[in-house]
Amino acid sequence: MDKVVSVSFGELALKGLNRSFFEDKLIKRIRNVIRDIGKPYIYRDQGKLYIEANEGNIKQIIDKVKKVFGIVLVSECYRIEKDMDEMIKYSISEVEEAIRKRDIKTFKVECKRADKKFPMNSMEVARKIGHHILQSVDGISVDVHKPDLFVYVDIRGKSYIYTEKLKAFGGLPVGTNGKGMLLLSGGIDSPVAGFMMAKRGLRLSAVHYHSYPFTSERAEEKVKSLAKILSNYCGSFKLYSVNILKIQKAINENCPEDEMTLLSRRFMMKIAEKIAIKNDVDALITGESMGQVASQTIKGLNVTNSAVNIPVFRPLIGMDKTEITEIANVIDTFETSILPYEDCCTVFLPKHPVTRPKLEDIENSESVLDVDSLINEAISEMEIIRIED
* Interface residue list for Mg ion (CB under 5 A): 189
Q: How many angstroms separate the CA atoms of 48 and 286, rounded?
A: 35
Task: Transcribe 227-294 into DSSP letters.
Answer: HHHHHHHH--EEEEEEE-HHHHHHHHHHS-GGGHHHHHHHHHHHHHHHHHHHTT--EEE----TTSSG
Contact between 187 and ligand ATP by CB under 6 A: the answer reads yes
Residue of 288, 297, 313, 382 that binds ligand ATP (CB under 6 A):
288
CB nearer to ligand ATP: give 199 or 208.
208
Segment 202-221, which members bind ligand ATP (CB under 6 A)? 208-209
Q: Which does 60 bind (CB under 5 to 8 A by kind): Mg ion, ligand ATP, none?
A: none
Q: How far is the CB of 336 from ligand ATP (least distance, A)?
A: 12
- Kindly write out the interface string for residues 249-278 of this chain, putting x where it contacts ligand ATP by CB under 6 A and - elsewhere: -------------------x----------
Annotate 313-355 with three-state secondary structure: ECCCCCCCHHHHHHHHHHCCCHHHHCCCCCCHHHHCCCCCCCC
Q: How far is the CB of 337 from Mg ion (least distance, A)?
A: 10
Residue of 23, 76, 189, 366 that binds ligand ATP (CB under 6 A):
189
CB nearer to ligand ATP: give 176 or 286.
286
Residue of 91, 159, 185, 205 that binds ligand ATP (CB under 6 A):
185
Asked if 51 contacts 40 with a C-beta cutoff of 8 angstroms, the reply is yes
Segment 302-361, which members bind ligand ATP (CB under 6 A)? 343-345
Q: How many residues does the chain have?
A: 389
Which of these, 63, 2, 328, lies nearest to 195 by C-alpha position? 328
- The pairs formed by 20-26 with CB atoms below 8 angstroms and a separation of 24 or more are 21/176, 22/70, 22/172, 22/173, 22/176, 23/49, 25/70, 25/173, 25/174, 25/175, 25/176, 26/68, 26/70, 26/71, 26/173
Consecutive H or E run containing 173: none
CB nearer to ligand ATP: give 39 or 352.
352
Peptide bond into 213 cis (omega under 30): yes
Number of residues that bind ligand ATP (CB under 6 A): 18
Q: Which does 208 bind (CB under 5 to 8 A by kind): Mg ion, ligand ATP, none?
A: ligand ATP
Helix axis angle for 260-278 and 359-366, nearest 10°, is 80
Residue of 183, 202, 234, 255 that binds ligand ATP (CB under 6 A):
183
Asked if 109 contacts 84 with a C-beta cutoff of 8 angstroms, the reply is no
Q: How far is the CB of 198 from Mg ion (least distance, A)?
A: 18
Q: How far is the CB of 331 from ligand ATP (least distance, A)?
A: 14
User: Which positions ≥6 away from 192 have C-beta within 8 Å?
Assistant: 287, 315, 316, 324, 327, 328, 331, 333
Q: How far is the CB of 293 from Mg ion (least distance, A)?
A: 6
Q: How far is the CB of 100 from ligand ATP (least distance, A)?
A: 44
Q: How far is the CB of 376 from ligand ATP (least distance, A)?
A: 19
Closest-by-Cβ residue to ligand ATP is: 187
Of the candidate spans 86-94, 105-113, 150-158, 183-191, the one that interacts with ligand ATP by CB under 6 A turns out to be: 183-191
Q: What is the DSSP letter of 114?
A: -
Residue of 80, 109, 184, 331 that binds ligand ATP (CB under 6 A):
184
Instruction: Give residues in contact with ligand ATP (CB under 6 A).
Output: 183-185, 187-190, 208-209, 268, 286-288, 292-293, 343-345
